[in-house]
Chain A
Amino acid sequence: WGCPQDCPVPRGADLSPLSFPPTVTSEQIEHLHRRFKQLSRDQLTIRKENFDSIPDLEFNPIRGKIVHAFFDKRNLRQESDGLVDEINFEDFLTIMSYFRPIEMNMDEEQLDRFRKEKLKFLFHMYDSDHDGKITLQEYRNVVEELLSGNPHLEKDSARSIADGAMLEAASICVGQMGPDQVYEGITFEDFLKMWQGIDIETKMHVRFLNMETIAHCY
């Protein structure tokens, strides 16, 4: 386990149909591994508390959700649902692989998968009760957290914004609803619809994984 090169493949990478070949280089993995050890204080796993030691994270309004995402089994490509208490380096890499940048040589299908992967991650972050739907309440929570950085916006505003967003989502996803129809929440399909036309793949990525994409580690 000590050698990062031995275990670069995110678990389940080849199990999930949506998975993609990880293109993280050994160099990056080493870097990440160093960081991982730093965070975990040389333990094999990271627990939630470890993230508290990152000072810059403190001001992040949605840090709770982000940290949560690291321990979300759905994001870790595990079959079961729920949360894990601790993640090992593999899991850490798996999460990080969501933030890989797009690659030049990706074909349409890969791009589509890539995009879905990223959106799934985001979706799971919003869907805090794991029921496959972002309900109004969940959405409100997110918006409230997002706006919590601004002390001048009251909760009411956050609420109405979330409501407005939800309304918008419903109109995008369902179109006209019959009077009896109930829009319970944003499903992943709806989520995809909402993201149509927005290049998430060009947005949700972080530089650290783009240093070099030559060596594919399997």
Chain B
Amino acid sequence: GERRGAMQPPAASPGPAASAGAELLRWQWREVQAPCLVAAWILVASLAKIVFHLSRKVTSVVPESCLLILLGLGLGGIVLAVAKKAEYQLEPNMFFLFLLPPIVLDSGYFMPSRLFFDNIGAILTYAVVGTLWNSFTTGAALWGLHQAGLMADPGIEAGLMDFLLFGSLISAVDPVAVLAVFEEVHVNETLFIIVFGESLLNDAVTVVLYKVFNSFVEQGPAHIHATDYMKGVASFFLVSLGGTAVGLLFAFLLALITRFTKRVRIIEPLFVFLLAYIAYLAAEMVSLSSILAVTFCGICCKKYVEANISQKSRTTVKYTMKTLASSSETIIFMFLGISAVDTSKWAWDTALVLGTLFFILLFRAVGVVLQTYVLNRFRLIPLDRIDQVVMSYGGLRGAVAFALVILLDGAKVKAKDYFVATTIVVVFFTVIVQGLTIKPLVTWLKVKRSDHHKPTLNEELHEHAFDHILAAVEDIVGHHGYHYWRDKWEQFDKKYLSQLLMRKSAYRLRDEIWDVYYKLNIRDAISFVDQGGHVLSAAKLALPSMPSRTSMSESSVTNLLRESGSGACLDLQVIDTVRSRRDKEDAAMHHVLRGSLYKPRRRYKASYSRHFISPDKQERQDKEIFRQNMKRRLETFKSTKHNVCSSKSKARLKEKGRKKASAPQPPPLDTLNGKTHRNVPWQEAAPVLVMVSSEEEESDSSETEREDDEGIVFIARATDEVLQGKTTPVPLTTPTSASPGSLDVCPSPCIIPPSPTLAEKELPWKGDQADLAVYVSSETTKIVPVDMQKAWNQSISSLESIASPPGTESGPQHRRFACPVLEEQPQSASQVMSEQSSCFQFPSHVSKSGRSQSDSSPDGMEQQELQPLMATEEPGRMLPATEQRWLMFNRASHL
């Protein structure tokens, strides 16, 4: 809508009534002209973006803003050539009312608020003092140039006030341009926040100076009284503080409103945009600083809004905001280019142009150096020389200056055309030349870059600890410094503001540490689902000693398993009554498989798609799933940490492995196992606990038949502590413990046979129930809080139906073998089979049956944790058929 043409209301088109009866189709261009043009321009700009980004070489060197300006120039030229007049232009009204707000809101809302407020002193100094300095010096210097008669063109009728006016609009660093360029440069965050914060906050100064000087110019220098100057000063405070106040007010309202949107989730994002926009308009209406209003509205509301609105709304807000801001920015730069073609507004004066360019660069640099010198006396982290260079050089001018100069009244400001031309040149120069060179400059100066490492939990914890430590030290030395007030504010916020503005449920989990933890979990879970291994390798949270999914020949093992599943079943079935060597080998193979296979990916996928699709439960589910995910990894870690595998057991395992290898290849499954086995040295897999889920018994068909498929359900590694019944708080569990099956087991009675080797020999699914050594480990109770278990089970059971292919539903559901889903660092192939990865399935009935038990299961209490361990003393107890059984082997050494 920034074209003149678009602004015209659709001119009188033939009334529809006139010819409605006669025409089938009617050309109605005029009626759709305005929106159509808007859409067309946006489309052109967006397509252009795609084209730019086709070549990574180009975009890595040339900032997008440059390309867009150049594109605009080209398009403007075409339009000029075709229409013989410059048709389209960046209209100040459109710019200030529609194009600027999204960008400012985006930058305010996603402003790293902590960083912003940590550096607020420097930012304010540069924004206020720096802008004042730039305006006055530039204006005065240009006036001096004019007075000296260096400006050749006599048409420049401008007095001091005119030049000061021009200085005020040309000296303000532009947030749009700065953002566009600096986002691609990746300087360190402190530097970025200072430059960027300055560009946002200097709006108040610019607006005030612009208005004051404009009124001075319009009044004529003769009519300016001393009181006018005072008014100017007063209006600065009014405009800036007023704008900020408006922003805070609307931030408060917004937070409050979102507190009550629980039942109308769908319009939550709307509120964010509406209120922010209204804040902008309200500030504009009373001629306060609208940029400040939106900035502070965004900064301040975010914490509460994010806590209140749903996850989906958060995503929506984020994407919509980014989309709007990005398209605004695109249009702005493109129209800057297009506008420049309009030569009717140009009046060129070389001295003015060059003088302006020189002065803004010079005075910006001088100003930065002077201010930094003062600031460094107070700053704890001084800004060094390189920072200053970047700050000076990063003072880009942009569309704000252009819009302001277009807004000038040509009748009052005689030299407007010269100013327009100069502004365009300055904007082009800063955006294109400086934008192009700042990246090499930053590289050349070796400016500290921002390392884009993902937030780690430790970091967040330590930062929190820091805050408290520093606040405490300030308390102790009796100094009321920054940390003291920050601490006070946080307490106030916690006590009153958050209580008022946040939902109870949201407030509950709104803790920064928790937040990071949560986000990390989400990230993990997503990477878990994501099959592109790169995510995993990048994840810092990678588990030690977790085999990588890439190294694990997922295709071979998993697919083979899938393909050969049925055949194997049949074959194994035959032997199931006879306990033979082969039987044992089967068992061994099972364990290998268990150890080497991964969690069924499909389930995860299913849970994910569900979590993204299903509206209810979704939040709870994703939380639980992530927690679960984290838990699982954690337990693996713990088991690693605490597990001391005796060499004996290893040796035994090795032996078995050897035996197995020598054995004739039985059924396809076995062959498969053999393969796996080769890949995986036994020492890697030292499973101590094998849990066998006996869901089949529940299923209608005879369970023995497909036991082999799912019999190999879990491998859990027992820590010494658990084995010996110690009360270590750390449970030794493998990822499997996180599986619902094991969770369910917790409350059930457990029996641990005296000798694990025996257990090993007995394939639980083969033999009679009676001679099975079965134990239920209840450590798992401790691992996963009850509520989590519940939720997990629910989600799993709800997923069951989805996840399981229709054909297998009645039959063994466990047949689903996991595609290796591994979030860990890649490892060598030989390590693939380490026991930590496991394949298990979560039969719905089991999880269901287990749920009620887990509900009542004790959680986290050591005594209770111990009980199952004690129970292990009594061997030979049988489990009810519905229970899952824990098979122990290789335990002898521990017991």
Q: B641 contacts A183, CB within 8 Å?
A: yes
Q: B540 contacts A182, CB within 8 Å?
A: no
Q: How many A-B residue pairs have CB under 8 A?
A: 208
Minimum CB distance partner of A102 in chain B: B381
Q: Is B567 an interface residue (CB 8 A)?
A: no
Q: Is B479 an interface residue (CB 8 A)?
A: yes
Q: Which residue from A54, A166, A168, A184 sits with its C-beta under 8 Å from B540?
A: A168
Q: B461 contacts A143, CB within 8 Å?
A: yes
Minimum CB distance partner of A173 in chain B: B544
Q: Which residue from A165, A183, A195, A206 sits with its C-beta under 8 Å from B470?
A: A206
Q: B513 contacts A146, CB within 8 Å?
A: yes
Q: Is B802 an interface residue (CB 8 A)?
A: no
Minimum CB distance partner of B495 in chain A: A59
Given A56-B484, A176-B827, A182-B642, A161 and B465 touching (CB < 8 A)?
A: no
Q: A207 contacts B637, CB within 8 Å?
A: no
Q: Which residue from A51, A61, A168, A178 sits with its C-beta under 8 Å from B458?
A: A168
Minimum CB distance partner of A149 in chain B: B494
- Complex Cα spacing A87 to B483, Å: 25
Q: A137 contacts B729, CB within 8 Å?
A: yes
Minimum CB distance partner of A202 in chain B: B381
Q: 17 additional contacts, CB 8 Å, given A31-B477, A57-B476?
A: A60-B472, A102-B381, A137-B729, A147-B511, A153-B508, A163-B634, A164-B541, A167-B543, A167-B634, A171-B825, A176-B545, A176-B546, A179-B640, A180-B686, A182-B644, A198-B462, A205-B470
Q: Is B517 an interface residue (CB 8 A)?
A: yes
Q: Is B481 an interface residue (CB 8 A)?
A: yes
- Complex Cα spacing A74 to B749, Å: 49
- Complex Cα spacing A113 to B545, Å: 33
- Complex Cα spacing A208 to B717, Å: 53
Instruction: Specify which chain B residues have a CB less than 8 angstroms from the CB of A176 in the assembled complex.
Output: 544-546, 825, 827, 831
Q: A175 contacts B644, CB within 8 Å?
A: no
Minimum CB distance partner of A34 in chain B: B478
Given A160-B634, A203-B466, A210-B380, A168 and B477 touching (CB < 8 A)?
A: no
Q: A62 contacts B643, CB within 8 Å?
A: no
| B50-58, B88-96, B449-457, B768-776 - interface stretch | B449-457
Instruction: Specify which chain A residues have a CB less than 8 angstroms from the CB of B717 in the assembled complex.
Output: 179
Q: Is B347 an interface residue (CB 8 A)?
A: no
Minimum CB distance partner of A55 in chain B: B475
Q: Is B730 an interface residue (CB 8 A)?
A: yes
Q: B545 contacts A179, CB within 8 Å?
A: yes
Q: Is B790 an interface residue (CB 8 A)?
A: no
Instruction: Specify which chain B residues have a CB less than 8 angstroms from the CB of A168 in the assembled complex.
Output: 456-458, 520, 540-541
Q: B835 contacts A179, CB within 8 Å?
A: yes
- Complex Cα spacing A142 to B517, Å: 16
Q: A38 contacts B468, CB within 8 Å?
A: no
Q: A171 contacts B541, CB within 8 Å?
A: yes
| B217-225, B625-633, B694-702, B757-765 - interface stretch | B625-633
Select the residue from B461, B630, B686, B730 with max chain A CB neighbours within 10 A.
B461
Minimum CB distance partner of B474 in chain A: A206
Which residues 262-278 of B sit at the A interface, judged by CB distance below 8 A?
Answer: none
Q: Is B491 an interface residue (CB 8 A)?
A: yes
- Complex Cα spacing A195 to B517, Å: 18
Q: A164 contacts B544, CB within 8 Å?
A: no
Majority SS of interface residues in chain A? helix
Q: Is A156 an interface residue (CB 8 A)?
A: yes
- Complex Cα spacing A66 to B514, Å: 22
Q: B477 contacts A206, CB within 8 Å?
A: yes
| Distance to closest chain A CB from B423 (angstroms) | 39
Q: Is B638 an interface residue (CB 8 A)?
A: yes
- Complex Cα spacing A180 to B487, Å: 44
Given A152-B507, A182-B643, A96 and B542 touching (CB < 8 A)?
A: no
- Complex Cα spacing A157 to B637, Å: 18
- Give me 19 A-to-B residue pairs in the complex whose CB atoms sit less than 8 angstroms apart, sorted by A's number: A61-B468, A102-B380, A102-B381, A104-B382, A122-B462, A125-B469, A146-B464, A152-B507, A160-B630, A164-B457, A165-B457, A175-B544, A176-B545, A178-B545, A179-B640, A179-B645, A183-B640, A204-B470, A206-B483
Select the residue from B464, B476, B477 with max chain A CB neighbours within 10 A.
B476
- Complex Cα spacing A35 to B476, Å: 8
Q: How many residues of chain B are within 8 Å of chain A by beta carbon?
A: 80
Q: Which residue from A143, A182, A208 sits with its C-beta under 8 Å from B477?
A: A208
Instruction: Specify which chain B residues have a CB less than 8 angstroms from the CB of A198 in the assembled complex.
Output: 459, 462
Q: Which residue from B466, B544, B645 sits with its C-beta under 8 Å from A183?
A: B544
Q: A146 contacts B465, CB within 8 Å?
A: yes
Instruction: Specify which chain B residues have a CB less than 8 angstroms from the CB of A207 in the assembled complex.
Output: 380, 474, 479, 481-482
Instruction: Specify which chain B residues have a CB less than 8 angstroms from the CB of A175 in the assembled complex.
Output: 544, 825
Q: Is B471 an interface residue (CB 8 A)?
A: yes
Given A171-B544, A177-B545, A179-B834, A146 and B476 touching (CB < 8 A)?
A: no
| Distance to closest chain A CB from B262 (angstroms) | 18
Q: A169 contacts B458, CB within 8 Å?
A: yes
- 4 nearest CB pairs, A to B: A177-B544, A152-B508, A56-B475, A165-B457
Instruction: Specify which chain B residues have a CB less than 8 angstroms from the CB of A102 in the assembled complex.
Output: 380-382
Q: Is A80 an interface residue (CB 8 A)?
A: no
Which residues 189-218 of A sit at the B interface, judged by CB distance below 8 A?
Answer: 194-195, 197-198, 202-208, 210
Q: A171 contacts B468, CB within 8 Å?
A: no
Q: A143 contacts B785, CB within 8 Å?
A: no
Minimum CB distance partner of B631 in chain A: A160
Instruction: Specify which chain A residues have a CB less than 8 angstroms from the CB of B683 in the assembled complex.
Output: 179
| Distance to closest chain B CB from A99 (angstroms) | 6
Q: Which residue from B463, B466, B481, B491 sits with its C-beta under 8 Å from A208?
A: B481
Contact mask for chain B residues 721-746; partner A; CB cutoff 8 A; 1 contact, 0 none: 00000000110000000000000000
| Distance to closest chain B CB from A162 (angstroms) | 8
Contact mask for chain B residues 378-396; partner A; CB cutoff 8 A; 1 contact, 0 none: 0011101000000000000
Q: Is A111 an interface residue (CB 8 A)?
A: no
- Complex Cα spacing A174 to B540, Å: 12
Q: Is A84 an interface residue (CB 8 A)?
A: no
Q: Is B473 an interface residue (CB 8 A)?
A: yes
Contact mask for chain B residues 533-553; partner A; CB cutoff 8 A; 1 contact, 0 none: 000000011111110000000
Q: Is B61 an interface residue (CB 8 A)?
A: no
Q: Which residue from B462, B470, B511, B521 sits with its C-beta under 8 Å from A99?
A: B470
| Distance to closest chain B CB from A179 (angstroms) | 6
| Distance to closest chain A CB from B410 (angstroms) | 51
| Distance to closest chain B CB from A146 (angstroms) | 5
Instruction: Specify which chain A residues have a CB less than 8 angstroms from the CB of B508 in the assembled complex.
Output: 152-153
Select the residue from A32, A176, A182 with max chain B CB neighbours within 10 A.
A176
Q: A32 contacts B477, CB within 8 Å?
A: yes
Q: Is A48 an interface residue (CB 8 A)?
A: no
- Complex Cα spacing A175 to B475, Å: 40
Q: Is A83 an interface residue (CB 8 A)?
A: no
Q: Which residue from B469, B543, B627 sits with its C-beta under 8 Å from A204?
A: B469
Q: Is B349 an interface residue (CB 8 A)?
A: no
- Complex Cα spacing A204 to B482, Å: 13
Instruction: Specify which chain B residues have a CB less than 8 angstroms from the CB of A206 in the assembled complex.
Output: 470, 473-474, 477, 479, 481, 483
Given A143-B513, A175-B544, A180 and B644 touching (CB < 8 A)?
A: yes
| Distance to closest chain B CB from A3 (angstroms) | 19
Q: Is A172 an interface residue (CB 8 A)?
A: yes
Q: A66 contacts B457, CB within 8 Å?
A: no
